[in-house]
C-alpha cells in the first residue's frame, strides 16, 4: 500500500487521484490559516520554489479539527495562502486527520511506522523512518513521501520547513 491508492478533493470538490503525483517527491501537510504555526507557509513555499523543478510537490490539506483554526471555504483558504504567503503549491479541500471521520489518506499516513527507502538498489540514509504516533497532534504535521509513494519521514508541527531541506535533498 502507498499514497497513490488514495483520492482527495480539490478546492473545487472534484476528486483528485494521488496517482497524478506518481514519480514526484511529496511533502504532505495538514494546515490551518489561523494557527500560530501558519507562518510555516513561507518556509513551505521556499522549499517548493527551490525543488519543484527537481520533482517536489507540496500537498496542502487544511484541517479545522484543531481549535477550528481553518475557518472559511476551501477557496477562501487557498486564496489566503496565495495572497498572504505567495503559495504556488496545491491546496486541497479541508479534511479530517483524526477520529472517526478521518480521511483514508490520513488514516494510512498515521498508521505507517517505518518504511525501507532504497535508491538504485541500495539503502540510503533515509532507510528507516521512525514514526512515533498514530494520531496527528496538531496543524503542520508533515509527511515526506518518496517517488514510489512510500512515507519515508514524519515531521512534527514544530519541525520547521527549512529543517526538512536536507531530507528532501537526500530523497531527490
The model's pTM: 0.87
Q: In the prediction, which pLDDT does 113 show?
A: 58
* Residues 102, 17, 80: CA angle, nearest 5 degrees: 70
Domain boundaries, the chain: 3-171
Reduce the DSSP state of residue 25 to 3 states and report it: strand
Q: Which helix (H) or strand (E) covers residue 44, if one does?
A: helix 40-51
Nearest Cα to Cα of residue 2 among 122, 140, 116, 138:
116
Pick out the chain residues at pLDDT < 50: 114-132
What's the rounded Cα separation, in Å, for the pair 89 and 155? 19
E strand residue ranges, 45-119: 56-62, 90-91, 118-119
Give residue 45's pLDDT: 97
CATH number of 3-171: 3.40.30.10
Which residues fall within 8 angstroms of residue 102, CB to CB, at 6 or more apart? 95, 96, 110
Catalytic residue among 27, 35, 70, 129: 35
Determine the distance from the C-alpha atom of residue 96 to the mean position of all C-alpha atoms in its chain, rounded to a whole number. 13
Q: What's the pLDDT score for residue 115?
A: 41
35 belongs to the catalytic site: yes
pLDDT at 133: 55
Q: How far apart are the first and last CA of the chain?
A: 21
Cα of 43 vs its chain's centroid, Å = 13
Amino acid at each position: 500500500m502507498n499514497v497513490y491508492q488514495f483520492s482527495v478533493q480539490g478546492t473545487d470538490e472534484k476528486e483528485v487521484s494521488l496517482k497524478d503525483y506518481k514519480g514526484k517527491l511529496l511533502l504532505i501537510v495538514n494546515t490551518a490559516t489561523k494557527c500560530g504555526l501558519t507562518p510555516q507557509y513561507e518556509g513551505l513555499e521556499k522549499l517548493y520554489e527551490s525543488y519543484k523543478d527537481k520533482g517536489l510537490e507540496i500537498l496542502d490539506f487544511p484541517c479545522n479539527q484543531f481549535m477550528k483554526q481553518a475557518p472559511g471555504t476551501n477557496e477562501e483558504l487557498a486564496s489566503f495562502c496565495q495572497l498572504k504567503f505567495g503559495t504556488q503549491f496545491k491546496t486541497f479541500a479541508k479534511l479530517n486527520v483524526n477520529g472517526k471521520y478521518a480521511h483514508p489518506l490520513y488514516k494510512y499516513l498515521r498508521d505507517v511506522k517505518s518504511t525501507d527507502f532504497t535508491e538504485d538498489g541500495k539503502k540510503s540514509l533515509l532507510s528507516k523512518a521512525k514514526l512515533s504516533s498514530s494520531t496527528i497532534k496538531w496543524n503542520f504535521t508533515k509527511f515526506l513521501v518518496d517517488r514510489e509513494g512510500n512515507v519515508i519521514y514524519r515531521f512534527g508541527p514544530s519541525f520547521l520547513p527549512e529543517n526538512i531541506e536536507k531530507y528532501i535533498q537526500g530523497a531527490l
